[in-house]
A and B are shown apart, each in its own frame.
Chain A
Amino acid sequence: MNNFTGLLLAGLVGLLLVSCGKDEQRELPILGIPKITDGDTIPHRIPDFKFTNQDSQIVTNETFENAMYVADFFFTSCPTICPKLTRSMLRIHDYFEGRDDLLFLSHTIDVRRDSIPRLKLYAENIGVTSDRWHFVTGDEDEIYDIAEDYMSIALEDPDAPGGFDHSGWLILVDQNRHIRSFCDGTEDEDVDRLIKDIKLLMDE
């Protein structure tokens, strides 16, 4: 081995060590645009909400008082990315089977068609219950507004397939209503990364 290859090898090993080390002590940031009032920086929080789930139970911030949760936006008759999003949510749900400190919150953005019985049928068809996964409906504007707080897009758009446009993020929220991570629910590798982030948050 000459000097040059030796150096190259050492460099590569070094790089590997650095990147591994970084991963281990990574801390999840608090995401979103902070508010600045009276010189204080207040991190972004999910505001108060009140929705109804597939079992006609009221779901509010208190529902998630002792749990972190993964949120998304979808509708049951969506012909595009929703089945994939739901499938990714389901993968996370099944991965953390038995952990009651991780819940799931799916907001319909099609409140007219997605009645409570329809949300119930959808949940039953993928084999999940409101013990861990809430499919919620509510006031249309409240849902569209809160989507922005989850850094997501949700809006009615007659030109979009199925009549609604929305982004495919899965958003991880901690017990203090802070967004700590998110991923593209249509990309399996990105979902794997979110699973790692959930583990980090569980260890906090």
Chain B
Amino acid sequence: MSKSLQLSVVLMALIIGAFTIFHSSCDFNPHRHGEWLFEMHCANCHMEDGTGLGELIPDLWESPYLQKTTIHEAACLIRHGIKTPDPLDPDLEIYPMPPNYELTESEIANILNYIGNNFGNEAGYINPTKLKEVLSDCPNAEDRQW
């Protein structure tokens, strides 16, 4: 291999390397874990882009719910899901949104920090100690109606 070719190969490698490092730092996403969990546990219904489905599943964009409740209260909703009387048979109860007992506290925190600060929401961030307290004391956790 000629000297100049060697040099250009090395230069090329350096440029590619620098570009990759620069590029990934540009892409830095503070909610990557939350986003991933959201896609796993929530996007089936709320969709990856958070826009939901008609009147069936609420749009999470600029969510009035996330604005009017505190982000900590929303943790109870994620943990225990939503139970409502069946609109077609008031004797029955349905879970339009299922509970998530398998999620850990920090997973719930990451999901909430993701949805609370994406989709046009500015719900602020979770205080982990407070979250623990809130989750251990969700109102009517057993029989909750939203």
Interface residues of A, Cβ cutoff 8 Å to B: 77, 79-81, 83-84, 86-87, 90, 115, 117-118, 121-122, 124-127
Contact = CB atoms under 8 A, between A and B. Distances in A.
A126 B88 contact: no
Contacts of B55: 124-127
Interface of B: 43-45, 47, 53-57, 87-88, 94, 98
A83 B56 contact: yes
A118 B96 CA distance: 14
Chain A interface mostly? helix
Contacts of A80: 44
Contacts of B57: 83
Nearest to A82: B44
Contacts, number: 37
Among B54, B57, B88, B94, the most chain A Cβ lie within 10 Å of the Cβ of B54
B54 A127 contact: yes
B88 A125 contact: no
B2 to A, nearest CB: 13
A135 to B, nearest CB: 13
A81 B94 contact: no
A78 to B, nearest CB: 9
A124 B54 CA distance: 9
Nearest to A120: B88
Given A81-B44, A122-B56, 17 more contacts: A77-B94, A79-B44, A79-B98, A80-B44, A83-B47, A83-B56, A84-B47, A86-B53, A87-B47, A87-B53, A90-B53, A117-B88, A125-B56, A126-B53, A126-B54, A126-B55, A127-B54
